[in-house]
């Protein structure tokens, strides 16, 4: 059983097909690219890591110094391969957002002496029982009095609700790791720093919460382990725009491949041609159905006016039939109760098969009941006429 990570499990939940590309087939996309959101998040994390390393060395960190470290890191690592998905924005826009994240954090936490930093970018392996384990990285682990705090920095543009962070799995895994690694860690608090908003969200998990999280994670890992190659279906969502496997994904490959073709090549591409033919045939089918409905209405009108129930064409004929259909009151209605009582009173209940509409209609048609009873029953029924039109070949004798 492979070692999982929170992001690996999330990849499976978001899209099993992407999971297969990445972790089963292990496809590496060349040239490698990363999204600007991921790039910006990494630079912010690196800058905050350096900040706490400097603080632990007794250095005083100014806001200007922090932003300079960030700008240097950004310039050094920026490449044109960084992908900007949202149109209308540039790398500089994201650089500014990252800087704002750091300013917010600085303003809320300087001079960074509210707690003691125990670990930075700490790699942990969380054993969940059996062969199942999760690895991850704690951004910062600190101690404040007797409480350990697991910190996670977020540069996302989405601010989750308290309920969402309470249900978060990733920091729950890290809490399990903290309890395993530091036996004196009685009280553990989980803290998410939503840097864009300058907002911290806090949560605590009881041992029962952690056990529930462990059981669910193991069940998910088992489910993934039992999947066959074809079980990893694409799950199309807004996340597709950020997916590096889009050009080879079954849900997107043809759209991607054909989107760049010149018009004449596009129209001659076999898949495009088939879809166009199908769409055209469907339109024709729809138009033909509408036409048929109109002709059928005209035939019924003709039949009514002329009194003819069989109407001939050149080598086919149309037979118009009218049938009467009785419908009986709906269950639990007052009329239904009256009808059931009437049938029982007239000893017809068994024959009507506990008010089977077909059986009751047959009783009436076969005139097995007295005219007076039939009249009472019909008073509670609704009579509707059904008309059908049937096309068939003219018989020889009909063409003489
Ligand atoms: S493009 Fe979308 S559907 Fe296809 S693998 Fe990626 S996330 Fe899944």
The average pLDDT across 347-362 equals 72
Q: What is the pLDDT of residue 317?
A: 95
Kindly report the pTM of this predicted structure. 0.71
Q: How far apart are CA 153 and CA 44, in angstroms?
A: 9
pLDDT of 353 higher than 60: no
Evaluate if residue 197 carries a pLDDT over 90: yes
CA 29–ligand 1 middle distance (angstroms): 14
**pLDDT tens string 323-341:** 877 788 888 888 888 888 8
CA 16 to ligand 1: nearest atom: 8
User: Per residue in 105-142, is it b (16+ CB within 10 Å) or e — as a string?
Assistant: bbeeeeebeebebbbbebebebebeeebbbebebbbbb
User: 């060349």: which residue's tokens?
Assistant: 30
Ligand 1 center to 119 CA (angstroms):
36
- pLDDT of residue 389 exceeding 80, the answer is yes
Write down the H helix ranges in the chain: 6-14, 16-19, 36-56, 63-77, 91-109, 162-166, 170-181, 207-225, 253-259, 263-268, 270-306, 334-345, 357-365, 371-379, 396-399
- C-alpha closest to that of 257 among 272, 276, 244: 272
Concatenated DSSP letters for 206-275?
-HHHHHHHHHHHHHHHHHHHT--GGG-----SGGGGG-TTGGG-TTTHHHHHHHTS-HHHHHHSHHHHHH
Residue 104 pLDDT > 70, yes or no?
Answer: yes
Q: Which of these, 141, 209, 215, lies nearest to 174 by C-alpha position?
A: 141
- Show the tokens assigned to 396: 């020889």
Mutate to test the pocket of ligand 1, among 236, 250, 255, 259 (most ligand atoms within 8 A of CB): 236
The secondary structure of residue 62, as a DSSP letter, is: -
Q: Residue 152: pLDDT band by 50, 70, 90 thresholds? A: very high
Atom 2 of ligand 1, nearest CA residue: 240
Provide the pLDDT for residue 242: 87
- Tell how far the Cα of 35 is from the centroid of ligand 1, in angstroms: 15
Q: What is the mean pLDDT of residues 157-165?
A: 94
- Is the pLDDT at 33 greater than 80? The verdict is no
On the question of pLDDT at 96 being above 90, the answer is: yes
- Hey, whose CA ends up nearest to atom 7 of ligand 1? 240
Q: If pLDDT is split at 50, 70 and 90, which confidence band does 355 have?
A: low
Ligand 1 centroid vs 56 CA: distance in angstroms? Answer: 43
Q: State the closest ligand 1 atom to the C-alpha of 240, by its place in the atom list counted from 1.
A: 2
Residues 6+ apart with CB under 8 A from 311: 299, 302, 303, 317, 318, 320
**Band (133; pLDDT cuts 50, 70, 90):** very high
The full 3-state SS of 23-44, as one line of letters, equals HHCCCCCCCCCCEHHHHHHHHH
Is residue 313 packed enough to be buried (19+ CB in 10 Å), middle (13-18) or exposed (0-12)? exposed
Mutate which of 242, 245, 247 for ligand 1? The one with the most ligand atoms within 8 Å of its CB, which is: 245
Across the chain, mean pLDDT equals: 91
Distance from chain centroid for Cα 239 = 11
Domain segments of the chain: what residues?
33-112, 264-305, 309-399
Residue 179 has what pLDDT?
92
pLDDT for 252 equals: 95
pLDDT beyond 70 at 398: yes
Q: Between 41 and 366, whose confidence is greater?
A: 41
Query: In which band, very low, low, confident or very high, does the pLDDT at 349 lie, cut at 50, 70 and 90?
Result: confident
Ligand 1 probe mutation, 12, 18, 23, 242, most atoms within 8 A of CB = 18
Q: Residue 20 C-alpha to ligand 1 middle, in angstroms?
A: 10
Quick one: average pLDDT of 179-208?
93
196 — pLDDT class (breaks 50, 70, 90): very high
Distance (Å) from CA 236 to ligand 1 centroid: 6
Distance 270 CA to ligand 1 centre (A): 24
Of the candidates 116, 136, 122, the one whose C-alpha atom is nearest the C-alpha of residue 52 is: 116
pLDDT interval class at 354 (50, 70, 90): low
- 399 pLDDT above the threshold of 80: no
Ligand 1, CB cutoff 6 Å, lining residues = 15, 17-18, 234-236, 239-240, 243, 245-246, 249, 251-252
Q: Using pLDDT thresholds of 50, 70 and 90, give the confidence band for residue 267.
A: very high
Q: What value does the mean pLDDT take over residues 45-49?
A: 97
Better pLDDT: 164 or 399: 164
Question: For 279-313, what is each residue's pLDDT tens digit?
Answer: 999 999 999 999 999 999 999 999 999 999 999 99
Say if residue 115's pLDDT is above 60. yes
| pLDDT at position 82 | 92
Is pLDDT at 360 greater than 80 in this prediction? Answer: no
Region 172-196 average pLDDT: 93
Mark 30-60 as b/e (b = at least 16 C-beta within 10 Å): eeeeebbbebbbbbbbbbbebbbebbeeeee
């Amino acid at each position: 059983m492979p070692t999982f990570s929170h992001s690996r499990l999330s990849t499976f939940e978001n899209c099993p097909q992407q999971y297969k590309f990445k972790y089963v087939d292990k496809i590496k996309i060349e040239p490698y690219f990363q999204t600007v959101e991921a790039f910006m998040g990494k630079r912010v994390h690196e800058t905050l890591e350096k900040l706490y390393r400097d603080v632990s060395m007794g250095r005083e960190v100014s806001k200007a110094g922090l932003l300079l470290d960030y700008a240097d890191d950004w310039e050094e690592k920026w490449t044109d391969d960084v992908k900007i998905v949202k149109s209308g924005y540039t790398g500089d826009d994201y650089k500014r957002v990252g800087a704002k994240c750091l300013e917010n954090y600085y303003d809320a936490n300087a001079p960074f002496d509210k707690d003691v930093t125990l670990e930075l970018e700490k790699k942990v392996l969380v054993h969940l029982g059996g062969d199942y384990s999760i690895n991850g990285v704690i951004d910062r682990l600190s101690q404040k009095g007797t409480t350990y705090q697991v910190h996670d920095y977020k540069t996302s543009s989405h601010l989750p609700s308290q309920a969402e962070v309470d249900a978060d799995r990733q920091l729950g895994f890290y809490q399990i790791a903290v309890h395993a690694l530091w036996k004196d860690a009685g009280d553990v608090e989980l803290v998410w720093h939503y840097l864009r908003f300058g907002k911290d969200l806090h949560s605590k998990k009881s041992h029962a919460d952690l056990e529930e999280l462990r059981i669910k994670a193991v069940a998910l890992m088992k489910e993934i382990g039992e999947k066959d190659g074809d079980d990893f279906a694409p799950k199309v969502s807004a996340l597709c725009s950020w997916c590096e496997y889009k050009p080879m994904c079954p849900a997107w490959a043809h759209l991607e491949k054909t989107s760049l073709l010149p018009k004449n090549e596009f129209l001659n591409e076999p898949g495009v041609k088939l879809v166009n033919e199908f769409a055209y045939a469907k339109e024709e089918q729809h138009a033909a159905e509408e036409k048929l409905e109109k002709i059928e209405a005209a035939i019924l009108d003709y039949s009514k006016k002329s009194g003819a129930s069989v109407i001939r064409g050149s080598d086919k004929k149309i037979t118009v039939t009218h049938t009467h259909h009785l419908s009986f009151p709906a269950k639990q209605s007052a009329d239904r109760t009256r009808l059931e009582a009437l049938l029982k009173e007239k000893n017809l209940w068994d024959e009507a098969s506990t008010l089977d509409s077909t059986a009751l209609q047959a009783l009436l048609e076969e005139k097995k009941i007295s005219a007076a009873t039939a009249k009472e029953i019909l008073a509670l029924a609704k009579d509707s006429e059904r008309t059908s039109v049937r096309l068939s070949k003219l018989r020889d004798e009909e063409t003489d």
